[in-house]
């Protein structure tokens, strides 16, 4: 010990001081430093939803930069709006599936002929809205400007902003008709649109513009086109996505030329995996690109063999992408998917940048709407219908964060339209009838459908039941943990629609029940939700008296008769996680008040999704109607999460009581 | 199964339906029903601080009614304001000690001669303020009205409201001087004050008035006095506390007479345990009461034996209280303590209504200010200085609730005056010198003081160290769990000021670490906070690299140099609880931002509380000053709460590194 101690640290071992240092006075304004080197977001020194971190709070250009700084390679996916409502339903499931591979963003093209800014379910605007809000994908909406008034454009941009879209691909678009003349004060070039967005919306949107590795076909020269590109960047574009090309050299030369004239923003190569002879020819015609001879030589001989062309296209794309990535100049790849799944997914998997991360930031599907970025608590009831939950809460000004009870009394939007395309079953009526029965003979046929859904075994007509009105997907992996018991109780008329096992501190990286950052521990209280007859409810209520201190219950029928032992109508947290250096996250609650809104939806699904498959007055329809009118919806929580789940015992006791001769 | 199922439940077994039923539409407005029969509070259908429940949200009259309905007996305690600042410090510790027995409320008398509404530390107003805010006690402030203007009274009431006082005992007070005349439009009787409070403050205050079991000495008659009492109740008084009396029959007759003329509010008997000959004589003279002959007969012969009189007084009070409680008419007892502790505590313990409930609603001392009723998260740093935390946050408009990170950047009030009477050490300077050393010979003498505080062993001069600048009380029971390790590290210059063990799901009723409602589970991350030399900090930082993913740390010196690995300056929850039917409660966090405010206070205490005990320029003072200037304040959290606490290993590794010859 001596008197030069303090200076000794400062000078002698400066690497110890690599972390954030700040003086006492400037506490809250200072940036958060961390040893992992991640940058904190600009708008606040603290993130209010600890578990979601930067990824949910950053804007696209920041995410791009962070990935680049970290040396992570990424990809993005381009889609066009579908022509029909059915195709829209399919595209949405494709978003969900391809979203699982971890694209940095997707983009939706603008089809001037297809009423792109309208509320139609096939419009560019609504498809992009669905991608952001319901699929939770970072999304770029394309927008073209030629032949449009400033008011039209501003209207589209305002609508996009309102819907939660934060990124615009600013394009000129193809002039309608052969002859095209500049309009004075009109939008003649993409650069006009970029300027307009920056003038009217300041820095709200991230703006992307198109680059042409071979020069725009209408440009005077390659050099002139580069100068136009620089103008677009100077006007406020944040990054560039290129037109497709066939050789990596084409892109790398273009990139160097861009850098040489001072374009420093990210430039993302557009990759087009050849998927078929005709689609290639059409695209080449539209883009006025020339297909290199060596490619033509391969394709022409196999032009009628789709599979062979696709295999070749995948090979070609993989080797070109490898060259791009290996150059060290490319960090992200943009794929023109043509709304198809297989070729692009193949390329991504072979490149090793398709990353199905089983770890979820939260146990439920997060929306990407900026208004919802603090959201981290939801009622468990919509676990299998997250899109319905998002739809019914879209008008909320604030989203519960930290604690559900802090939110004001929740007003759920009415769910009048069960056929909204993002809520629609992926299966058509005929398939549903095969799964759920062309003809029902009694309540027992309904028990059988529920049981087959749980077991995965085919029904008596040999069809597997892969979805239910309350769950459009097969059983979750987590629910599989409960399969045996679920099968047993469904056979006896406890018609389960939601459940989770109790979990007493599994690692947050657990592949089945884990979520949130690594190094944490996740917990659950056992939960069971089911429809059942009033006879069973009577016995159940007697049994529940024995479990009064341990089990919380809510029992309600379609008329709203409601029996509960929830103290003061308080929510019960049933999923929570403890993470290093964070506050507690409790993403799922059983909320007695919301349960009554969910109840309306859960009962209505019997009629809307199931009963209406059958003729009016038909016996099958009357059976479902009877269940709808007379059954109860029950939820049970076992509060003693460190002990063995007692809910199965509760059900066993109930049947024992029902079968006991001494029952009055 | 039949078609009368539904009606079958409703009619056949109506007892099943004793719980809350509500129809779907009226969800959030309906009262929460619960099988335990507790009533939900009126102002909201949901309580935002789930763990604290009714007790913290109800007003005094509601608490009184709830206790009565539940058949719980309760007590309350009356104090008068002290004459000197030192006496105020003692009275505050008495509040803390007697508060532990669970009084329903305390009340503070109004001393017109003592500037009762002023900001002096001995004023009635400030003593009541301290009781509510700093001791967390439901408090009634007395107020007398005669010889005061309406403006004076309104001013006092406004101030009381601002300070968080919710209850007033409205009294006439003794006229100054012998002759007293009614003032026109003035306050002549307590009833005028009751009316004034209701006029000016509506229903804000709960109002208590005095009852005279033998009639007020100045009343025309007992009957006339009863009528006056009824007027006070009709004017808006919520309950009555009586003057003292010597026989239970006196009170019971009075109560029946009150009921006979239609007084239905609670009437609480005032109990005066005789504690000495002279105090009894003085009180009797003031109150113009007559002491029954049988009491005089006992007291007169032993009038010089204080202990004997007090024993008799306790006996007498116990038997009178038993008669009152046994009558079934009395639910609460009000004690005139004369600011003394022993006699009243004895009576309460012998009656079995002194209830030291080891279970705490939260792990820290809750304030009773109405503004703070939602508060349920605090930084751990002030764990041993809760009054300082309350003082420094008194200007906050909102208090963190659910999650610390939700609160806006916390602005802590400056702590300029370390001699505020509610922050002052209970021990005088001479005692502190005995504990902390008349003369320090080096840093090691300081280590020795810290070590003696931990072990409870006397120091080398034979004095036990029962408090430290950072902790005015002996070691907490919980900290005792860590005693052995703490002793070891303090001896070596890791000067600990705060710590908690890790807890992986102990029952919430655990006598040492439990808190919150029963049936829950409590958890903690291990925490250690200490001052140490820069030499040790250098080694510690190297060791911490090995624990990077497991241990969060903050290391800061008095100049504000700050080293941390906290991600994005986020708070780390270190205490939390999971309860049946509730959301997660996380009452304690390590907040990197608040730590810098705490740091200023923690360092200043070296100087303010310790260095200043010694002469300027004295070696002892310079040693403390050196530590203040050169040591670091360190906090460590082990995030892996289910594993064995690794913080001791971190410290061991640090000393090993320091002692290793290969250290560069």
Whether the predicted pLDDT of A644 surpasses 90: yes
pLDDT for B53: 54
pLDDT for B240: 97
Q: Which residues of B touch A586 (CB under 8 A)?
A: 583-584
**In a 3-state reduction of DSSP, which class is residue A610?**
helix
H or E stretch at A268: strand A267-271
Confidence of residue A11 (pLDDT cuts 50, 70, 90): very low
Q: What ipTM goes with this model?
A: 0.82
Strand partners, B75: B333
Q: Which residues of B touch A550 (CB under 8 A)?
A: 519, 580
Nearest CA in chain B to A377: B583
DSSP structure string for A454-510 = HH--B-TTS-B---BTTBSSSPPHHHHTTHHHHHHHHHTT-EEEEEE--EEEEETT-
Closest approach of B128 to chain A, Cα-based (Å): 31
Q: State the Cα angle at A471 between A134 and A458, rounded to 5°.
A: 140
Separation between Cα atoms, residue B211 and residue B229, nearest integer Å: 7
- C-alpha separations of A111 from A164, A192, B18, B591 in Å: 20, 19, 61, 51
Closest approach of A208 to chain B, Cα-based (Å): 29
- The candidate with the shortest Cα–Cα distance to A504, out of A645, A369, A310, A647, is A645
Separation between Cα atoms, residue B196 and residue B155, nearest integer Å: 12
Radius of gyration from C-alpha coordinates of chain A: 29
Say if strands A267-271 and A332-336 run parallel, antiparallel, or are unpaired. Answer: parallel
Whether the predicted pLDDT of A235 surpasses 60: yes
Whether the predicted pLDDT of B130 surpasses 90: yes
**A514 token code pair:** 């884990």
For A158-216, what is each residue's pLDDT tens digit?
Answer: 999 999 999 999 999 876 555 556 666 678 889 999 999 999 999 999 999 999 999 88
Separation between Cα atoms, residue A230 and residue A51, nearest integer Å: 39
pLDDT for A478: 79
Q: In the sheet where B562-564 sits, what is the strand order?
A: B495-500, B526-532, B632-638, B551-557, B562-564
Beta carbons of B314 and B272 less than 8 angstroms apart: no
Beta strands in B150-205 (DSSP E): 167-171
Q: What is the number of other CB atoms lying within 10 angstroms of the CB of residue A93?
A: 15
As a whole number, the mean pLDDT across chain A is: 87
**C-alpha distance across the termini of chain B, in Å:** 84
Separation between Cα atoms, residue A187 and residue A148, nearest integer Å: 7
Separation between Cα atoms, residue A488 and residue A482, nearest integer Å: 10
Q: Which of A7-21, A275-289, B171-185 has maximum average pLDDT?
A: A275-289
- The candidate with the shortest Cα–Cα distance to A536, out of A432, A443, A418, is A443
Longest dimension (CA), chain A: 95
Comparing A338-347, A395-404, A625-634, B541-550, which segment has the lowest mean pLDDT?
Answer: A395-404
Whether the predicted pLDDT of A253 surpasses 60: yes
Comparing B9-13, B79-83, B120-124, which segment has the lowest mean pLDDT?
Answer: B9-13
Separation between Cα atoms, residue A610 and residue A568, nearest integer Å: 36
Say if strands B378-379 and B585-590 run parallel, antiparallel, or are unpaired. Answer: parallel
Beta carbons of A590 and A637 less than 8 angstroms apart: yes
Confidence of residue A9 (pLDDT cuts 50, 70, 90): very low
Contact B1 A535 (CB under 8 A): yes
Say if strands B378-379 and A332-336 run parallel, antiparallel, or are unpaired. Answer: unpaired
Separation between Cα atoms, residue A367 and residue A372, nearest integer Å: 7
Q: Which long-range contacts (CB under 8 A, 24 or more apart) does B194-199 make?
A: B194/B170, B194/B232, B194/B235, B194/B236, B194/B237, B195/B235, B195/B236, B196/B145, B196/B150, B196/B153, B196/B154, B197/B157, B197/B168, B197/B170, B197/B236, B198/B235, B198/B236
Active site residue B220: no
- C-alpha separations of A427 from A127, A467, A609, A616, B579 in Å: 20, 8, 11, 22, 42
Whether the predicted pLDDT of A243 surpasses 90: yes
Contact B46 A402 (CB under 8 A): no
Q: Closest partner residue to A505 among B552, B570, B642, by Cβ?
A: B642
**Who's near A220: CB < 8 A, 6+ residues apart?**
none
**A582 token code pair:** 């964070």
Contact A552 B581 (CB under 8 A): yes
Contact B566 A46 (CB under 8 A): no
pLDDT for B183: 64
Nearest CA in chain B to A30: B569
Q: Counting one residue from A and one from B, how many pairs have CB atoms under 8 Å apart? A: 278
Separation between Cα atoms, residue B437 and residue B446, nearest integer Å: 9
For B296-333, what is each residue's pLDDT tens digit?
Answer: 899 889 988 989 999 999 999 999 999 999 999 999 99
Contact A586 B584 (CB under 8 A): yes
**Who's near B186: CB < 8 A, 6+ residues apart?**
B146, B149, B192
**Who's near A89: CB < 8 A, 6+ residues apart?**
A421, A422, A424, A426
For B444-459, what is each residue's pLDDT tens digit?
Answer: 999 999 999 999 999 9
Percent of chain A with pLDDT over 90: 67
Separation between Cα atoms, residue A599 and residue A628, nearest integer Å: 11
- The candidate with the shortest Cα–Cα distance to A630, out of B14, B7, B20, B23, is B7
Comparing A47-51, A121-125, B403-407, B640-644, which segment has the lowest mean pLDDT?
Answer: A47-51
For A310-332, what is each residue's pLDDT tens digit?
Answer: 999 999 999 999 999 999 999 99
Separation between Cα atoms, residue A562 and residue A556, nearest integer Å: 4
Whether the predicted pLDDT of B227 surpasses 70: yes
pLDDT for A52: 46
Closest approach of B275 to chain A, Cα-based (Å): 46
- The candidate with the shortest Cα–Cα distance to A141, out of A113, A121, A166, A175, is A166
Beta carbons of A168 and A209 less than 8 angstroms apart: no
Whether the predicted pLDDT of A613 surpasses 50: yes
Whether the predicted pLDDT of B368 surpasses 70: yes
pLDDT for A25: 34
Q: Which residue bears the tokens 């307590």?
A: B190
Q: Which among B581, B602, B627 is the top mutation candidate for probing chain A, defined by the most A β-carbons within 10 Å of its own β-carbon?
A: B581
Whether the predicted pLDDT of B44 surpasses 50: no
- C-alpha separations of B11 from A577, B4, B23, B292 in Å: 45, 11, 18, 62
For A29-88, what is each residue's pLDDT tens digit?
Answer: 333 333 333 333 333 334 344 344 555 678 999 999 999 999 999 999 999 999 988 899
Q: Which among B66, B374, B403 is the top mutation candidate for probing chain A, defined by the most A β-carbons within 10 Å of its own β-carbon?
A: B403
Q: In the sheet where A551-557 sits, what is the strand order?
A: A495-500, A526-532, A632-638, A551-557, A562-564
Contact A53 B568 (CB under 8 A): yes
Helices B647-659 and B483-491, interaxial angle, to 10°? 20
For B466-513, what is each residue's pLDDT tens digit?
Answer: 999 999 888 887 777 889 999 999 999 999 999 999 999 999 999 889
What is the Cα A519 distance to its own chain's centre? Answer: 24
For B80-92, what is each residue's pLDDT tens digit?
Answer: 999 988 899 899 9
Separation between Cα atoms, residue B627 and residue A342, nearest integer Å: 68
Q: How many residues in chain A?
A: 664
pLDDT for B176: 57
Q: In the sheet where A585-590 sits, what is the strand order?
A: A378-379, A585-590, A572-578, A521-524, A503-507
Catalytic residue, candidates A58, A78, A487, A601: A78
What is the Cα B627 distance to its own chain's centre? Answer: 33
Helix, strand, coil percentages, rounded to 5, for chain A: 40, 15, 45
Confidence of residue B4 (pLDDT cuts 50, 70, 90): very low
For A95-126, what is each residue's pLDDT tens digit?
Answer: 999 999 999 999 999 988 888 999 998 999 99
A417-445 average pLDDT score: 87
Contact A566 B32 (CB under 8 A): yes
Say if strands A585-590 and B521-524 run parallel, antiparallel, or are unpaired. Answer: unpaired
Strand partners, B551: B638
pLDDT for A142: 97
Comparing A138-142, B395-399, B438-442, which segment has the lowest mean pLDDT?
Answer: B395-399
**A362 token code pair:** 């939260």
pLDDT for B42: 32
For B409-423, what is each residue's pLDDT tens digit?
Answer: 678 888 777 667 777
Strand partners, A390: none
Beta carbons of A505 and B642 less than 8 angstroms apart: yes
**A338 token code pair:** 């043509």
Comparing A376-385, A614-623, A628-637, B406-415, which segment has the lowest mean pLDDT?
Answer: B406-415
């Amino acid at each position: 010990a001596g008197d030069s101690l303090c200076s000794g640290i400062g000078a002698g071992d400066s690497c110890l001081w690599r972390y954030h240092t700040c003086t006492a006075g400037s506490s809250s304004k200072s940036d958060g430093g961390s040893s992992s080197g991640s940058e904190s977001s600009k708008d606040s020194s603290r993130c209010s939803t600890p578990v979601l971190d930067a990824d949910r709070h950053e804007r696209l250009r920041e995410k791009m930069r962070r990935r680049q700084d970290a040396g992570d390679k990424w990809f993005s996916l381009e889609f066009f709006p579908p022509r029909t409502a059915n195709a829209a339903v399919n595209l949405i499931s494709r978003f969900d599936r391809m979203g699982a591979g971890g694209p940095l963003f997707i983009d939706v093209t603008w089809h001037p002929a297809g009423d792109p800014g309208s509320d139609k379910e096939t419009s560019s605007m609504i498809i992009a809205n669905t991608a952001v809000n319901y699929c939770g994908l970072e999304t770029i909406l394309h927008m073209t400007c030629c032949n449009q008034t400033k008011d039209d454009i501003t209207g589209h941009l305002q609508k996009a902003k309102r819907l939660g879209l934060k990124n615009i691909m600013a394009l000129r678009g193809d002039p309608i008709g052969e002859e095209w003349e500049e309009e004075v004060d009109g939008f003649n070039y993409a650069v006009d649109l970029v300027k307009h967005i920056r003038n009217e919306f300041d820095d709200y949107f991230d703006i992307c513009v198109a680059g042409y590795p071979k020069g725009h076909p209408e440009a005077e020269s390659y050099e002139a086109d580069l100068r136009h590109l620089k103008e677009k960047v100077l006007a406020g574009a944040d990054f560039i996505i290129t037109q497709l090309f066939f050789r990596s050299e084409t892109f790398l030369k273009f990139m160097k030329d861009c850098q040489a004239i001072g374009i420093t923003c990210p430039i993302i190569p557009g990759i087009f995996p050849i998927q078929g002879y005709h689609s290639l020819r059409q695209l080449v015609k539209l883009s006025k690109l020339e297909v290199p001879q060596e490619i033509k030589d391969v394709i022409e001989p196999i032009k009628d063999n789709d599979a062979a062309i696709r295999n070749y296209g995948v090979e070609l794309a993989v080797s070109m992408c490898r060259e791009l990535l290996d150059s060290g100049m490319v960090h992200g790849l943009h794929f023109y998917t043509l709304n198809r799944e297989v070729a692009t997914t193949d390329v991504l998997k072979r490149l090793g940048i398709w990353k199905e991360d089983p770890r979820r930031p939260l146990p439920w599907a997060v929306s990407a709407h900026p208004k919802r970025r603090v959201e981290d608590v939801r009622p468990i009831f919509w676990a299998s219908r997250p899109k319905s939950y998002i739809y019914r809460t879209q008008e909320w000004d604030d989203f519960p964060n930290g604690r559900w009870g802090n939110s004001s009394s929740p007003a759920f939007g009415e769910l009048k339209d069960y056929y909204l395309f993002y809520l629609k079953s992926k299966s058509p009526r005929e398939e549903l009838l095969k799964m759920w029965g062309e003809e029902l003979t009694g309540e027992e046929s309904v028990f059988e459908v529920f049981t087959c859904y749980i077991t995965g075994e085919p029904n008596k007509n040999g069809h597997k039941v892969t979805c239910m009105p309350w769950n459009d997907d097969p059983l979750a992996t987590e629910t599989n943990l409960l399969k045996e018991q679920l099968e047993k109780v469904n056979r006896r008329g406890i018609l389960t629609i939601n459940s989770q096992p109790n979990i007493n501190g599994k690692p947050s990286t657990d592949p089945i029940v884990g979520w949130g950052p690594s190094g944490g521990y996740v917990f659950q209280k056992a939960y069971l939700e089911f429809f059942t007859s009033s006879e069973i409810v009577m016995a159940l209520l007697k049994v529940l008296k024995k479990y009064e201190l341990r089990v919380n219950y809510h029992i309600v029928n379609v008329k709203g008769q409601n029996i509960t032992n929830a103290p003061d109508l308080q929510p019960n947290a049933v999923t929570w996680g403890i993470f290093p250096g964070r506050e507690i996250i409790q993403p799922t609650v059983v909320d007695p008040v919301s349960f009554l809104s969910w109840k309306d939806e859960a009962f209505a699904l019997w009629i809307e999704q199931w009963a209406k498959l059958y003729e009016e007055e038909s016996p099958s329809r009357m059976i479902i109607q009877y269940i709808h009118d007379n059954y109860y919806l029950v939820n049970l929580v076992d509060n003693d999460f460190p002990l063995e789940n007692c809910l199965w015992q509760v059900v066993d006791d109930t049947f024992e009581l029902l079968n006991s001769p001494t029952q009055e």
